Structure 1
Amino acid sequence: MALLTPLFAFLYHLPQVYKWLLKPYYIASLFMSVAFLLVRKTPGICEHLSTQREDGNPCDFDWREVEILMFLSAIVMMKNRRAITVEQHVGNIILFSKVANVILFFRLDIRMGLLYLTLCIVFLMTCKPPLYMGPEYIKYFSDKTIDEELERDSRVTWIVEFFANWSPECQSFASVYADLSLKYNCAGLKFGKVDIGRYSEVSKKYKVSTSPLSKQLPSLVLFQGGKEVMRRPQVDKKGRAVSWSFTEENIIREFNLNELYQKSKKLSKSRGERSEKPSESQFPPVPEEEEPEADTQEAVKESKKDK
């Protein structure tokens, strides 16, 4: 059963995975992840490689390489237990496959190891994972607009994500946060994002560290009346984030989104009723028509007789 569950999940998300693999970033990452396998198994190349196998076959893995690959599989399985999206699953496989390739190439030939490591560094600096481009109801803040928006209406509750584009965790969380905004966004409950990797002053003011060691990215903060009410993940005295899983279920439960949404819908309804009721200032009373005086009525009758 433990093996069937991830298999069914993979088959369910296969169309989505197929779309990702067609993107240049994932195509290049896939080739780099299987680089050692291709070198070791490709005829015409593998014959020139060194090996520690007893039979001397250079086109097959030796016992040490099998150990490294088995250890890689164990690490990927452990990391993917905490992954919440398919992007995170694929990202973990690519990341640890590259690490294993570096070790295997250095063990095979130091020159090949240096070449592969250089390619990894160039790839990391020039290629970025594709950003989420799906539907969402999210307002993006800058350092000049965030305070104004949060304090504009005290009745509006804001959930703000503090993120950085270079963070893999933020990139994986983007689709989850977008789905939540589509389900719960309304007049009294709004969703926002601010890139603290770009606006460092915002990270200082709201005390969200951009250091990878602090593990505070992404951070979700709930604001009511412009003031912070709660945040996840919480931060301990040493400035490190307490481990917390950014699943949709956890966010709905911790932030009481269902309750907030019901209250916010009432606020939007009350606003709608007020706007529908015409006020006296908008529609002034129509003056009543005055009845014509008696003399005027007689004059009208005489003129009709003359005709």
Structure 2
Amino acid sequence: MIKNRLQWLNTVVTEPYYLFHFLIFFSYLPFRLSSTSSLLSPHHLLRREIQALLAYSILAAVKMVREENWEGFIADTLFFGKVFLFLLALNVDHHLALWYILAFLVLYIIAEQPAFPELGTVNTLTPLQLETTLMEGNTSRYWLVEFRALCSSSCVRNSRIFPELSVTYSNKNLSFGMVDLGLFPNVAEQYGISLTGNLGLPTYILFENNVEVMRFPGVDLEGKVSHHLATKKYLSQHFALDLLLLEYVNGK
């Protein structure tokens, strides 16, 4: 546990995405202390800051309980932090609020939230490797494949789920693979994955002997992507991973 926390702390310090967010948030203190033209009196401004801090803490606590992984929790808390920081800056100086808008816009352009770095037992596949693997038929009977693109925020938020599922359910009968649509966008059309607004990402497809048997999220007859929160519990139920694992154990 302590080792994981130290690794996470090291990531926060060294990753530009987190480091620049920290520097921008911290910059409020010197701006606030050096400002001599606040739109509110010091007493009223302090009260607003305390209210904002309490509201932010409550939202962060709620998100910590509801979110399944750190990537989603960090993304939400940073977003709320930006909103509260902008609102507080409006009470100090309109020019300061404008500066924060520009700073966060530049940060959005130059840095992206990093995905979960570990892959578990997931095999990173090119389209040719995926096709060859499914056609061979002498590997696993089932392949659960994640199609993702790390330019999609939803893929980054869910990047921890698939590796952790693979660690739990991977066996000789069920293998896990991942195809990066950021590198191979043409694969999306081949497998009927919608890239419009990144609404169809990440997409998970379960293959049995080179035949697709199930996918998430699903697409209806009108081509609309169904919406459901992707969690480890939901995906394991949707693809009946417990049943597949039980079949493998009983078939040994």
Residue 242 (structure 2) pairs with residue 250 (structure 1): no
Structure 2 counterpart SS, 1:161: strand
Residues 32 and 98 in structure 1, CA contact (< 8 A), matched pair in contact too: no
What's the CA shift for 1:191?
0.3
Is the alpha carbon distance of 1:234 and 1:33 closer, same or farther for their aligned partners in structure 2, counting shifts above 3 Å? farther
Is the contact between residue 34 and residue 97 of structure 1 (CA under 8 Å) also seen in structure 2? no
> Per the alignment, in what secondary structure is the counterpart of residue 207 of structure 2?
strand
Distance 1:204 1:69, change over 3 A: farther
Q: 1:187 aligns to what?
A: 172
Which runs of 5 or more structure 2 residues have no equivalent in the other structure? Answer: none
What is the count of residue pairs matched by the alignment?
Answer: 249
Which residue number in structure 2 is paired with residue 5 of structure 1? none
In 2, are the aligned partners of 1:233 and 1:243 still within 8 Å (CA)? Answer: yes
The residue type paired with residue 159 of structure 1 is: L
User: For residue 244 of structure 2, what is the aligned residue in structure 1?
Assistant: 260
Could you tell me how far apart the structure 2 residues matched to 1:35 and 1:149 are? 52
**Structure having greater relative contact order (Cα 8 Å, sep ≥ 6):** 2
Question: Is 2:28 aligned against 1:39?
Answer: no
Over alpha carbons, which structure has the higher Rg? 1
1:95 lines up with 2:86 in the alignment: no
1:49 is matched with which residue: 19, 37, 52? 37
Ranges of 4+ aligned residues in structure 1 off by more than 4 Å = 13-17, 65-81
Deviations 1:124-148 (CA, angstroms, capped at 9, x unpaired)? 2222333433352111222333222
After superposition, the Cα gap between the structure-2 partners of 1:245 and 1:207, relative to the gap in structure 1 and judged at 3 Å, is same
TM-score relative to the length of structure 2? 0.80
- 8 Å Cα contact 1:221-1:231 kept in structure 2: yes
Structure 1: runs of 5 or more not aligned: 1-9, 270-307
Distance across 2 between alignment mates of 1:151 and 1:74? 52
- Give the whole-Å Cα distance in 2 for the aligned partners of 1:67 and 1:225: 58
TM-score by length of 1: 0.68
Aligned counterpart in structure 1 of residue 104 of structure 2, from 100, 113, 120: 120
**Structure 1 residues 235-265: Cα deviation after superposition (integer angstroms, max 9, x where no partner):** 3446233223312x22222222222124345
Distance in structure 1 (CA, Å) of the matches to 2:204 and 2:198: 18
**Distance change (3 Å), C-alpha of 1:117 and 1:180:** same
Structure 2 residue 230 is matched with structure 1 residue 239: no
> Do 2:148 and 2:201's aligned partners in 1 also have CA atoms closer than 8 Å?
yes
Aligned partner (choices 112, 116, 120) of residue 136 of structure 1: 120
Q: Which residue of 2 aligns with 1:111?
A: 95
Structure 1 contact 188–265 (Cα < 8 Å) conserved = no
Q: What is the root-mean-square deviation of aligned Cα atoms in Å?
A: 3.2
